[in-house]
């Protein structure tokens, strides 16, 4: 049986590629979550007016990879201390967020976030938000596995 997890960590292309490298991940798709517009387009999300975040929805096998491992991978693949930005990308669509699909995911995400915040690994407090999952709007086909189709890789 597979489970879902959804993360926003900046531009979704590299995040998707990195999650695909995590053992136990069955699939990953890029899309949008957290906004107020139904079936948003990439162009709409880029305006920073829809409330959506660029996200990766991960399908994983909990027998091979538990949720805490995914959350730890998420914290390793971006700067969770940034508010509404990652690298050169700015706007709320690039915010650091974990969308939890059930109370257990919320609990684990909060535990790992607190552990990471207390670890001293980051120079500033972690700004990652934890929110209930909403409708996942799959991004346009040309965004799916974007880096892999171009021969690029993003290892953790």
156 inside domain: no
Instruction: State pLDDT tens for residues 96-153.
Output: 999 999 999 999 999 999 999 999 999 999 999 999 999 999 999 888 987 778 776 5
31 inside domain: yes
Backbone angles phi, psi at 19, to 5 degrees: -65, -35
Number of domains in the chain: 1
pTM: 0.93
* CATH number, residue 39: 3.30.1060.10
Alpha helix (H) residue ranges in 5-145: 12-20, 42-46, 67-76, 103-118
Provide mean pLDDT across the span 70-92. 94
Residue 154 pLDDT: 54
> Which residue among 11, 46, 65, 154 is the active-site one?
11
Query: Per-residue pLDDT for 156 more than 70?
Result: no
Mean pLDDT score across all residues of the chain: 93
DSSP output for 37-48 = SSS--HHHHHTT
Range of the domain at 113: 3-149
Is 65 annotated in the active site?
no
């Amino acid at each position: 049986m597979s489970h879902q997890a959804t993360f926003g960590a900046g531009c979704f292309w590299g995040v998707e590629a990195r999650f695909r490298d995590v053992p136990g991940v069955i699939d990953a798709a890029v899309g949008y979550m957290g906004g107020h517009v139904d079936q948003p387009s990439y162009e709409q999300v880029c305006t920073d007016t829809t409330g959506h975040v660029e996200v990766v929805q991960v399908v994983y096998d909990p027998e091979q990879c538990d949720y805490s491992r995914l959350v730890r991978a998420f914290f390793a693949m971006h700067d969770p201390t940034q508010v509404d930005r990652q690298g050169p990308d700015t706007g709320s669509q690039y915010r650091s967020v974990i969308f939890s699909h059930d109370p257990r995911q919320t609990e684990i995400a909060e535990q790992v976030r607190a552990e990471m915040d207390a670890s001293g690994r980051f120079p500033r407090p972690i700004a990652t938000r934890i929110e209930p999952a909403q409708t996942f709007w799959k991004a346009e086909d040309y965004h799916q596995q974007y880096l892999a189709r171009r021969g690029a890789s993003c290892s953790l």
